A = this chain, B = another copy of it.
Amino acid sequence: MTTPTLTKNQSLVFDVLTKAEAPLSAYTILDKLRDHGFRAPLQVYRALDKLLEYGVVHRLESINSFVACAHPDENCHSHGLVAFAICESCGQVIEFHDHEVDHRLMDWLKSQKFKAEKSTIEIRGHCASCAA
């Protein structure tokens, strides 16, 4: 369950994501790392694949972007769904977990004999600051 030591490229990508204040696309990450020798998208995508596998980064499907996990210590992800509220003005992402939602969804899926593997729960809108 513990995260393996990150390689150089993985560390660079992870650092960029942890310092960012909003989700980043793979190509934005690439641009930020050109000074560190990155030249091609694959260098970013390969690092992201590993970081996603380790659970320290999340992919936001609805905006084709990536964000560092907001709860790196809790290993909450192993036993529950993750949901994201994404502000369309400032880009801020709130990551949250709710076991009641989890169980409700899981029960429904079970009733359909559907074997869940990956889940995406993303709410786009405006955060408290941006809602005006």
Contacts and interface: CB of A to CB of B under 8 A. Distances in A.
Contacts of A36: none
A81 B121 CA distance: 11
Interface string A101-132: 10011001100111111111111111110010
Given A61-B122, A115-B126, A121-B120, A101 B94 contact: no
A100 interface: yes
Contact size class for A?
Answer: 20 to 34
A61 B120 contact: yes
A104 B98 contact: yes
A100 B120 CA distance: 18
B114 A119 contact: no
Interface string A74-102: 00000000010101100000101010110
Interface of A: 61-62, 83, 85, 87-88, 94, 96, 98, 100-101, 104-105, 108-109, 112-128, 131
Cβ-closest 3 pairs across A and B? A113-B128, A117-B125, A116-B125
